[in-house]
Amino acid sequence: MIYWISVFHMRPEVIKSAFSQIREMTTDAERARIDRMVFVDHHYPVRKAECSKLVEELGRYWKAEIYSPLTNLGGHGGVSFALNYLKPTSNDLVFVVDPDSFPTSQGWVTACLDAFAEDNKKPFQSLGSVSLTDERLTHWDWPRYLEPQRSGPRLAFLPRAEMINMSVWRASVLKKGFLANSQFYGHMETAMWAEEQRKGMRHAYLVDYKERTNPIPHDEIYTAWKHDHARGDYPGNFDQYVKEKSA
């Protein structure tokens, strides 16, 4: 089975931009390969009703199931929430796609799945997850980290945890849920890198399939909260942050 999880907690303009781009960068055949798609509505507290209405509309278009926790569980918490419903088996694959994602390469869905198909042919599978390469990661000498592949897409394996956005995961890596070293936002990469290492798995980057920053910016207050929370300066949730800043 192939699953897709997106956790919604941001302004509607960002979401519209992302899913319009995702639609442009995928084909009907690729979208048909997803067995179950889940949208988690975290009830973004700024223009809350408008955001939830948009999630419902997108859910109908993408034929996605919509789950609504009572509060924002954070990006990784929302994915774990969806996994509890889906209960994937170890051999399943799980797309985790943030609603501000902006892929710039056609065929990225097929490339992700082909990477796992090639790994499955090996006597011992070591590919735990694969991501598109974010165009902001310019500080790496990517050719240095390429590994020869008999077939399938070109893959690079970095020596440490790095930015991960649009990704596909082996469900066996997600047995403990989607992990992060923070309560709501930030430091997912280091936690999941460690979990993959513990299981003898590795994370790969599709060097020929890219994504970039969504051209529509987040609300300034949301960006400020994410920065403060990831740094440990503000431990509370975003709705609390909004109330305090508004007061």
What's the pLDDT score for residue 85? 94
Strand pairing report for 167-170 and 2-8: unpaired
**Domain residues of the chain, as ranges?**
2-246
pLDDT range class, residue 186, cuts 50, 70, 90 = confident
What's the pLDDT score for residue 15? 98
DSSP letters along 161-206, please? -----SEEEEGGGGTT-S--SSSSSS-HHHHHHHHHHHTT-EEEEE
Q: What is the pTM of this model?
A: 0.96
For residue 4, give the 3-state DSSP assignment.
Answer: strand
Helix (H) or strand (E) holding 95: strand 93-96
What's the pLDDT score for residue 246? 84
| Stretch 167-183: mean pLDDT | 95
Query: Which range, of 170-179, 216-225, 238-247, averages the lowest pLDDT?
Result: 238-247
pLDDT range class, residue 16, cuts 50, 70, 90 = very high
User: What is the rounded radius of gyration, in angstroms, for the C-alpha atoms of the chain?
Assistant: 18
Average pLDDT, the chain: 95
How far apart are alpha carbons 30 and 220 in whole angstroms?
35
| Stretch 6-17: mean pLDDT | 97
Architecture of domain 2-246: Alpha-Beta Complex (3.90)
Helix (H) or strand (E) holding 110: helix 108-120
What's the pLDDT score for residue 58? 98
pLDDT range class, residue 232, cuts 50, 70, 90 = very high
pLDDT per residue over 57-102, tens digit each?
999 999 999 999 999 999 999 999 999 999 999 999 999 999 999 9
